[in-house]
Chain A
Amino acid sequence: MAKMSIAEALREAIREEMRRDERVFCLGEDIDIPGGFGGAFTVTLGLSKEFGHERILDTPISEIMIAGAAVGAAMTGMIPIADVQYGDFLFCMMDQLADNAAKMTYMSGGTVSVPMVMRAPVGATTRGAQHAQSLESFFTHVPGLKIICPSTAYDAKGLLKTAIRDKNPVVVFEHKLLYGSKGNRAEKSALSPVGEVPEEEYLIPFGEGVIRREGTDITIVANLLMVYRAMEAAEILEKEGISVEVIDPRTLVPFDYELVLSSIKKTSRLMIVEEDTRRNGWGAEVAAQIAEDGLYYLDAPIIRVATYDVPIPFAPVMENFVVPSAARIAEAARKLMKA
């Protein structure tokens, strides 16, 4: 097994799939210009050496075209992996993703498929409000899209490979502080987890969450960076005698409700932690669904810890305040234990 960062694991997944299937290609801005960045966070760095610039396609700064071209190519026999530099720019692509990618199969009565992947970095990194958003919930709302959010190198490779082979449009949310990008693309205060990644082929099916830490008092469901914040909170709480189970759903659509239900049967308390803003977030959906299916397992109200409902401010003191911290999660957990 090799040790890899998430950026490396994603690159491996793309490399393997491009070797396996010549329909797979990448397109995006600055994804592999010689002497350039390899995408905003180095994921596609160096791939053109093996696959050439025809399959690692550096585009103009044209998000509508990138997303739309991915849809068109996907409908007609290719498997595009489109790249956006910051997730925030998905808004520029929204029409192509929400109206075309998501609906083409349905509108055609199932005669068309759109096997494309849309990769997007999310998370607040003191860049201000237009380079910071966690946008999962904008997309989990759209029927026809699958939404995944790998938080480890192992998951990144296995889930991206599954995404590439899926017959549907899959939006991949990746976290800027988890990539482990190097050189001048490195992020200050990044966690950059490095993990074991098997050399042999493996795929991770969508809709299967994992338990990152077992516990008996509270279940915390968290994704991306918040998995790590929840784990940190769990450490703190353990010393106070509160045992936390941390679940990483890994994919938001489809979502592994079974795993959450089986966990709350044991813990009878549920907290959802997301970096996305709180109102109408994916956490609200999970809370509602668990209330429908699992209310009687619960001894306390379901609570959410999420980014406050504000745009992401620039100043670190304010950014750190609005995005959930381990301390805020721990505090919410203490309250939940008393509830």
Chain B
Amino acid sequence: MKTENELVLSKADKNKAAARLLEMYEQMFLLRSYEEKIYFLFLEGVMPGTIHQSQGQEACAVGMLFDLRKEDYMTSTHRPAGHCLAKGVSLDSMMAEMFAKSTGCCKGKGGAMHTGDISVGAIPAIAITAGGMPVAVGVGLSCKMRRTDNVVVCFFGDGASNEGAFHEAMNAAAIWKLPVVFVCENNFYGASTHIKLVTNIENIADRASAYGMPGEVVEGNDVELVNEAATRAIARARKGEGPTIIELKTYRRCGHSRNDACAYRDKVEEKEWYAKDPLIISKNRILEEKYATAEELEQIEKRVLQRIEDAVEYAKNSPDPKPEDALEHVYAV
């Protein structure tokens, strides 16, 4: 039997959990809808370049970054949209960048693969596989040397874990006890190559022990589980106890890039993973726990979709850069 007091407390806890999950769901829905909109616009031919999307991996970005402060940092990859939205890069500025407009978060200079905004701690994404990992070490070093308790979350893929840069970054972060949380989004493929073909061990996080740091394998499509792991690793990093590897098992619901039909993937595997959609997992939980009703969720979704439409309008109405703008920003002034 619980005492009166405990019941009140647990109710408060429950309200808090409800509020958090609802907010995480809203963010995940934003990531998903943003990328679906981009996909549509890209196929229409209105967006230049290429796209690398992360539908299906929303729980990784949102769960990991949910409790970061604005002063904390994040490094990303060639697949940065989800990470950037979850770190707080403005939707309008990201959409405008996709349209190659001067109001984009990189003023039209970066493009999809370099999305970011340092003012909210989103280091402009680095599209060289594993190229962001040593940079995250430097960011962590700086957080430590400047005697802040800020941390850096460093995203990378399963494929990236076979780059030399991975090894150097891990080792240095470990010996210097840097506040870095290394997050491997293991979606089982590096482009068309299945992880089994290029890695002999089951879990990338098993490599953590080789560097003398903790490693954790987490169901990456459950945002609450991701968030719990993030909380542990971030607390450790903030206390100056050093880095952690968190490996999130997840799956792309989209191609590697552009209009890739994923002919290299096993269809049974696809089906199994498609059934584990992070948005559905969270939605079901919200409804089961009665955190919100289906109608309330619909309201949330409507609100998000409107924001995206507004962002598209903003981007379309924004000016193109001038050709000569290309000559600016080679050096800082």
Q: Which of A126, A184, A308 contacts B261 (CB 8 A)?
A: A184
Q: Which of A81-115 contact B (CB under 8 A)?
A: 88-89, 91-92
* Count of chain B residues with a beta carbon within 8 Å of a chain A beta carbon: 51
Closest Cβ–Cβ distance, residue B210 to chain A (whole Å): 17
Judged by a CB distance under 8 angstroms, whether A202 is at the interface is no
* Interface 1/0 per residue, A204-230 and B, CB below 8 Å: 000000000000000000000000000
| Complex contact B330–A130 (CB within 8 A) | no
Contact of A60 among B106, B198, B264 (CB under 8 A): B198
CB distance from A182 to the nearest CB of B (A): 13
Per-position contact with A for B103-114: 1 when CB-CB < 8 Å, else 0? Answer: 000101111111
Chain A residues in 8 Å Cβ range of B198: 58-61
Number of interface residues of A (CB under 8 A): 42
**Closest B residue, CB atoms, query A37:** B192
Instruction: Establish whether residues B324 and A314, one from each chain, have CB atoms under 8 Å apart when the complex forms.
Output: no
The smallest C-beta distance from A128 to any residue of chain B, in angstroms, reads 4
The interface stretch among A26-34, A155-163, A167-175, A294-302 is A26-34
Q: Are B325 and A316 in contact (CB under 8 A)?
A: no
Q: Using known A-B contacts A61-B162, A130-B128, determine if residue A317 contacts B100 with beta carbons closer than 8 Å.
A: yes
Interface centre among A35, A36, A89, A92, by most chain B C-beta atoms within 10 angstroms, is: A36
Residues of chain A within 8 A (CB-CB) of B292 are none
Complex CA gap A328/B163 in Å reads: 41
User: A63: CB under 8 A from chain B?
Assistant: yes
How far apart are the CA atoms of A320 and B321 in the complex, in Å?
A: 12
CB-CB < 8 A to B197: which residues of A?
33, 58
Cα(A64)–Cα(B129), bound, Å: 12
Residue of A nearest to B113 (CB): A128
* CA–CA, A131 and B113, complex, Å: 9
- Residue from A29, A59, A128, A321 whose CB has the most chain B CB atoms within 10 Å: A128
The answer to the question of A127 belonging to the interface, with a C-beta cut-off of 8 Å to chain B, is: yes
Answer yes or no: A315 CB below 8 A from chain B CBs. yes
Instruction: State the Cβ distance, A207 to closest chain B Cβ, in Å.
Output: 33
Q: Would you list which residues of chain B between 189 and 218 have a CB under 8 Å from chain A?
A: 190-194, 197-199
Cα distance A315–B99 when bound, in Å? Answer: 8
* Interface residue A254 (Cβ < 8 Å from any Cβ of B): no
Check A322 for interface membership: any CB of B closer than 8 A.
Answer: yes
Do B114 and A314 touch (CB < 8 A)?
Answer: yes
Indicate if the CB atoms of B111 and A314 lie closer than 8 Å: yes
**Bound CA span A127–B114, Å:** 10
Beta-carbon contact of A311 and B264 below 8 Å: no
Of B114, B323, B330, which contacts A318 at CB under 8 A?
B323
**A118-164 CB contacts (< 8 Å) to partner B:** 125-131
- B330's partner among A58, A131, A310 (CB-CB below 8 A) is A310
| A63–B114 CB distance below 8 A | no
| B320, CB-defined interface residue at 8 Å | yes
B193 and A30 within 8 A (CB): yes
**Complex contacts, B110 vs chain A, CB 8 Å:** 128-129, 314
A310/B327 in contact, CB under 8 A: yes
* List of B residues within 8 angstroms of A33 by Cβ: 192-194, 197, 264
Interface residue? A309 (CB, 8 A) = yes
B330 smallest CB distance to A (angstroms): 5
Indicate whether B258 reaches chain A with its CB closer than 8 angstroms: yes
Instruction: For B264, list chain A residues within 8 Å (CB).
Output: 33-36
Whether A61 contacts B114 in the complex (CB less than 8 A), given A130-B127, A310-B326, A316-B100, comes out as no
Query: Does A130 contact B108, Cβ atoms closer than 8 Å?
Result: no
Please name all residues of chain B whose beta carbon is closer than 8 Å to the beta carbon of A309 when the two chains form the complex: 330
B309 at the A/B interface (Cβ < 8 Å)? no
Bound complex: CA of A241 vs CA of B317, how far in Å? 44
A-chain residues with CB within 8 Å of residue B50 when the two chains form the complex: 127
* Cβ contacts A66-92/B at 8 Å (1 or 0 each): 000000000000000000000011011
> Closest chain A residue to B324 by CB distance?
A321
Could you tell me the distance between the alpha carbons of A276 and B101 in the complex, rounded to whole angstroms? 25
Shortest Cβ gap from A279 to chain B (Å): 11
For B179-195 the 0/1 string (1 means CB < 8 A from A) is 00000000000111110
| Chain A residues, Cβ within 8 Å of B49 | 125-128, 314
Interface residues in B89-144 by Cβ distance below 8 A to A read 97, 100-101, 106, 108-114, 126-130
A61 and B159 CA atoms in complex are apart in Å by 6
Partner of B111 from the list A37, A61, A88, A127 (CB cut-off 8 Å) is A127
Within the complex, what minimum Cβ distance (angstroms) separates A96 from chain B? 11
A/B interface sample: 14 pairs, CB < 8 A: A33-B194, A36-B264, A89-B129, A92-B164, A130-B127, A308-B327, A313-B109, A314-B49, A314-B97, A314-B109, A315-B109, A317-B100, A319-B326, A321-B323
Q: Contacts A35-B265, A313-B325 given; 6 further ones with Cβ under 8 A?
A: A58-B197, A61-B159, A61-B190, A89-B129, A184-B260, A315-B321
Q: Chain B residues in contact with chain A, CB under 8 A?
A: 48-50, 97, 100-101, 106, 108-114, 126-130, 159-160, 162-165, 190-194, 197-199, 255, 258-265, 320-327, 330
Q: What 3 pairs between A and B have smallest CB-CB spacing?
A: A314-B111, A36-B192, A35-B263
